[in-house]
Amino acid sequence: MRLPYLNREDLAEGDRDIFDRIAKERGQVHNIFRTMAYAPHLLRKYIEWSSELRFKTALDPKLRELAIMTVGRLTDAKYEYTHHWNAARKLGIPAEKLAALGEYETSPLFDDRERAVIRYAVEATRDVKVSDNTFNQVRELLDNDRILMELVMLVAGYNLVVRLLVPMQVDLEPGTKLD
């Protein structure tokens, strides 16, 4: 951690509702938010956006978690990877599949849609530029262009997240580990 984690009481009285909302929606105020709270005006906007990305899209939640975990794995963002491993497990994704993310192209554990989504996340994270082949394949395999755009925004959004987590050296909360 590069900055001490803030608590609700550390915020100006008019900003404390941000922590209240996070606790209500997500069960607790995680270290990422306790770090982002140094800029409460931006955290407030981020929570709006991230809540939409995480909980209110038509993208299949299992595909969402595979994409997020791919971003976390490629950027060595252990915080992101661990939290989303646990979220993926709660959705019923087997641990063997999650452990095989690095071999998604050849592993029989992944179907064509999963491979396309993971490949998209890999290219967008590593290179920013996504090949026409990858883009066209993921577009064909998702149900519509709205879901495609949700995937694009999800991968971009979680690339933002890891670029905050890693430089700020945000720690996992005590007791948080791969389930």
Give the pLDDT score at 29.
97
Question: 67 lies in a domain?
Answer: yes
Q: Specify the number of domains making up the chain.
A: 2
Question: 112 lies in a domain?
Answer: yes
Residue-wise pLDDT tens digits, 13-29: 999 999 999 999 999 99
The domain that holds 124 is classified in CATH as 1.20.1290.10
Residue-wise pLDDT tens digits, 111-133: 999 999 999 999 999 999 999 99
Residues 27, 67, single domain; the answer is no
pLDDT over 90 at 179, yes or no: no
Question: 174 lies in a domain?
Answer: no
The position carrying tokens 């803030």 is 6
Residues near 136 by beta carbon (within 8 Å), at least 6 away in sequence: none
Residues 85, 36, single domain; the answer is no
Give Cα separations from 74 to 61, 127, 163, 170 (angstroms). 20, 11, 12, 17
Q: Which domain holds residue 12?
A: 8-55
Residues 88, 147, single domain; the answer is yes
Residues 126, 71, single domain; the answer is yes
Which two structure tokens, joined as six digits, stand for 91?
Answer: 């959705």
CA distance 146 to 122: 21
Question: 177 lies in a domain?
Answer: no
Closest by CA to 173, choosing from 98, 165, 112, 122, is 165
Residues 73, 157, single domain; the answer is yes
What mean pLDDT, rounded, does the chain reach? 96
Sequential DSSP letters for 27-81: SS--HHHHHHTTSHHHHHHHHHHHHHHHHS-SS-HHHHHHHHHHHHHHTT-HHHH
Residues 13, 46, single domain; the answer is yes
Which two structure tokens, joined as six digits, stand for 30?
Answer: 């995680």
Residues 72, 37, single domain; the answer is no
Give the pLDDT score at 162.
97
CA distance 130 to 99: 24
Residues 19, 48, single domain; the answer is yes
Degrees to nearest 5, angle at CA 91 with 79 and 28: 45
pLDDT over 90 at 98, yes or no: yes
Residues near 26 by beta carbon (within 8 Å), at least 6 away in sequence: none
Residues 47, 124, single domain; the answer is no
Question: 94 lies in a domain?
Answer: yes
Lowest mean pLDDT among 30-34, 170-174, 175-179: 175-179
Question: 27 lies in a domain?
Answer: yes
Residues 73, 133, single domain; the answer is yes
pLDDT over 90 at 54, yes or no: no
Contact 72, 158 (CB under 8 A): yes
Residues 86, 12, single domain; the answer is no
Residue 143 pLDDT level (bands cut at 50, 70, 90): confident
